[in-house]
Structure 1
Amino acid sequence: MNLLLNKSTVNKQSLVNVTGSKSETNRLLLLQALYPNIQLENISKSDDSDAMQMALLSKENTIDIHHAGTAMRFLTAYFSTQEGREVILTGSSRMQERPIKILVEALQQLGAEILYEKEEGFPPIRIKGKKITANKVTLKADVSSQYISALLLIAPKLENGLELTLEGEITSIPYIEMTLALLNEIGAETTFENNKILVKPIKESLPAKRITIESDWSSVSYFYSIVALSSVGTQITVSSYKQNSLQGDSVLQNIYKDFGVKTEFNSDNSITISKITMPTLQTVTHNLKNCPDIAQTIAVTCFGLGMSCNLTGLHTLKIKETDRLEALKTELSKLSAIISVTNDSLTIEQSNNPIIKSSIVTYQDHRMAMAFAPLALRIPIIINEAEVVSKSFPTFWKDLQTIGFQVEEMK
């Protein structure tokens, strides 16, 4: 499905409900599978969380998680602990190009039994669940935080818990801290000092517990971009968010001050995002190593406002649904941006060139589709394979129409 977003204007005051955080949901779904007394509210409606839920409930020998990268990492760890169960974990063609060797080797250090069905280091993988008694493992600290979180999530269920040592500078600390906070919330004891994480085993059965999942900060980033590209006085209210959020992407509220955007927390757990002034900075510089998922949104915002930017800490974007750095370079260049990328950075130079109407290729990446959508406030824009947003935000296009965007399906 290709969508035409005609040049639009946002309603001065709008209200949007955003689904629960995919990051929190997928962690808690795994913990719920290990500890069934946990009850969850505001579960993410994303494809990734649907894939996670179906996989955890499946009795099949082969489980296909399609494009769900988080599910692939978390389920690799989960099925390694399921004594007597043997499964083949597979996914889409792109998923079979995404590396998993670092996590597999870490689990094998602990005694897990995992074999590759095709190419070494990549899915599909055959997992023979067994009782794991070893409790010490070492990982490079700059790997995807999902590898680290996958190990931490199963740690309380391991007979002797887990002692995880991270070597070097740690990437995406907020995601690790989120995992540890959720473990603490269900009753696990954890410590994170210097580069060592300890998780003690939970020996007793857990009491019943109800957990409400916060809405997704990555998803609200697109509404921050929309407000930034709108006129002063534009407001969008979005629910439901916490000031003491566990999500690293909540740094949006600080980053978007650079674009004249203010965030206000309301008593009903909603936030109001307001354009209060035009930006005065000519160049925006941020290290996004702790929140790489919002890089695409920030880059497009800067381009739409005619600002320069220098974004670093982006090395994990090369192994996402697509190589997001190269994808951004290709698509923004088509619009007339002067952009350069390295293995871990992106730079856009300020330019007076008019934005050229273009058709945006999404590369089966939900964040490419949603990050470019706000540019419809500047020019008509076509989003190819727009249905890809269902991976994390199924109601995205409907919500854009609600706030004033003109969205048409192309025949």
Structure 2
Amino acid sequence: MNSKEIKPLKNLKKISFKLPTSKSLTQRALICSALAQGISKIINPLISEDTLLLKEALKAVGVNIKEKKNIWEVEGKYPPLLLGKKIYLGNNGTGARFLTALASLGKGSYVEIYGKPRLHERPMGLLIESLKKLSANIECLEKEGFLPIRIKESILVSRDIFLPGNISSQFISALLLIGPYLPKGLKLIIEGEVLSKAYIDLTLDVMKSFGVEVKFFENIFEVSKSNYVATVYEVEADASTASYFLAIPLILSKGEIIIKNYNPCSKQGDVKFLDYIKKMGAEIEILKPLGIKVKFEGVPKGIEVDLGDTPDLFPTMCILGAVAEGKTILKGAPHLRYKETDRIKAMVTELKKLGVKAEELPDGAIIEGTREFKKGIIINTYDDHRIAMSFAILGLKTGGIKIKSPECVAKSFPEFWDYIEKLYE
């Protein structure tokens, strides 16, 4: 069994570094540039399992992508080509949903989209149903509403699409991204409160960078018929990834971290992490022209947080709750149960193994902090990169934690373990 032991970090000095760029932004920029007329340049794309899978998937539908140092040159191909290929997307839920929408615009014969068994368990039904309402020709090959699927050429139409707000924001983003290429644009009417709205805002921001503005009023998105304009797009540091490292001073009860390429004004919803750790007692300094400093000494305070807009922060907030004084209540994110794994169940299960009092909620968890952690525990990562990275950070305090399948971090941050090693230098 492949595992990695985390040694305790006894003395965290002042540490300063740059972090990899955003997976969310890289994937959205890939889709927009794939449909744009002309050649776009994506500067500092994240190089990870998910982004590379989506890049290869786009090549399979006729998009020409050249890799240069820190730059991907993307020559758009509209309409995409359906060449009878089987396209593998691993466990890339975002990529699978975005590509399903993009391929529905395609011309040719067909493509099939498939992935790892867990990807085949992640719901696709409402996205497929919405695309079918737009006249897409999509066939589920094993189970209705799930991958694998076959997409054949069709002539899409413009219709009003009604969706519940409590679905994955990736469904909404996928439809918005192809909206400009429908005959009369697209109107999306969202019924109820929108979960993970920050990720939809991120989609709108990237679309705007490629020349398409979306109107949003009273839960209605309106996309006019238009085209993406090839552009130069620079990808920011990943706010989700940054959360693990910004948590370290609080986990260790003392220390200072500087991330030099962190944009606290980013449209990435996970910059809200700064608000969360500030409530727990961290000192935060915004650096000019770019960067953030987090300083902490003492014991973090347990807090109550609604993670509806920031579900990817759930694992990091769980480990902070494990060392905090009192209870930390995390709520508002039922969609966590449909990520790479059921993250609510997984985090609670693994925290309990370490001796932490933790309880599942339908939409989150209640965690009671402790100072006594069990030693020699093997953490099951469930092949989930965020679970692996969060428990690695907790292991800096407890020591003796072994992370099972540590290679799963490659999904979003292949160099994660190198960064951890630098902390001991």
Q: Shorter-chain TM-score: what band? A: over 0.9
2:363 maps to 1:344: yes
1:217 alignment partner, one of 227, 231, 239: 239
Residue aligning to 1:320: 339
Is residue 146 from structure 1 mapped to residue 170 from structure 2 by the alignment? yes
Q: CA, structure 1 residues 395+280, in 2 after alignment: closer, same or farther (shift >3 Å)?
A: closer
Contact 1:79 1:85 in 2 (8 A): no
Rounded to whole Å, the distance in 2 between the matches of 1:246 and 1:10 is: 34
Name 1:7's counterpart in structure 2.
8
Q: Does the Cα contact within 8 Å between 2:315 and 2:390 map onto a contact in 1?
A: yes
- Residue 55 of structure 2 corresponds to which residue in structure 1? 53
Letter in 2 for 1:260: G
- CA positional deviation for 1:307: 3.8
Q: Which residue of 2 aligns with 1:227?
A: 249
The TM-score with structure 2 as length reference comes to 0.90
Q: Secondary structure at the match of 2:383?
A: coil
The alignment status of 1:330 with 2:343, answered yes or no, reads no
- Counterpart secondary structure, 2:6: strand
Determine if the alignment matches structure 1 residue 248 to structure 2 residue 250: no
Structure 2 counterparts to residues 118-197 of structure 1, below 5 A: 118-197=142-221
TM-score normalised by length of structure 1: 0.93
Report the counterpart of residue 367 of structure 1 in structure 2: 386
Aligned to 1:387: 407
Secondary structure of the 2:424 match is: coil
2:292 is the counterpart of 1:271: yes
State the alpha-carbon separation in 1 of the partners of residues 294 and 311 from structure 2: 21
Number of the residue aligned with 2:68: none
- Give the AA of the match of 2:285: E
Deviations 1:239-262 (A, max 9, x none): 422232111111011101133323
Q: Distance in 2 between matches of 1:218 and 1:54?
A: 24
Q: 1:306 deviation in Å?
A: 4.7
Amino acid at match of 1:265: I
SS at match of 1:94: helix
* 1:67 aligned counterpart, secondary structure: coil
Question: With CA pairs under 8 Å and 6+ residues apart, which has the higher RCO, 1 or 2?
Answer: 1
AA aligned to 2:364 is S
Distance 2:188 2:201 in 1: 14
Structure 2 unmatched ranges of 5 or more:
62-83
Structure 1 residue 86 displacement after superposition: 1.1
Q: In 1, Cα distance between the equivalents of 2:409 and 2:40?
A: 29
How many residue pairs are counted as aligned between the two chains? 400
Distance in 2, matches of 1:177 and 1:343, equals 25
Instruction: Note the C-alpha offset of 1:350.
Output: 4.2
Aligned residues: percent identity? Answer: 34
Aligned to 1:304: 323
1:344-386 per-residue CA deviation (whole Å, 9 max, x = no partner) reads 1201134565444411000010011001112222232100100
Q: Structure 1 396/256 Cα, relative in aligned 2: closer, same or farther at 3 Å? A: same
Task: Give the equivalent residue in structure 1 for 2:35.
Answer: 34
- Residue 16 of structure 1 and its aligned partner are, at CA, apart by 2.7
Which deviates the most, 255-264 or 340-349?
A: 255-264
**1:329: how far off?**
1.5
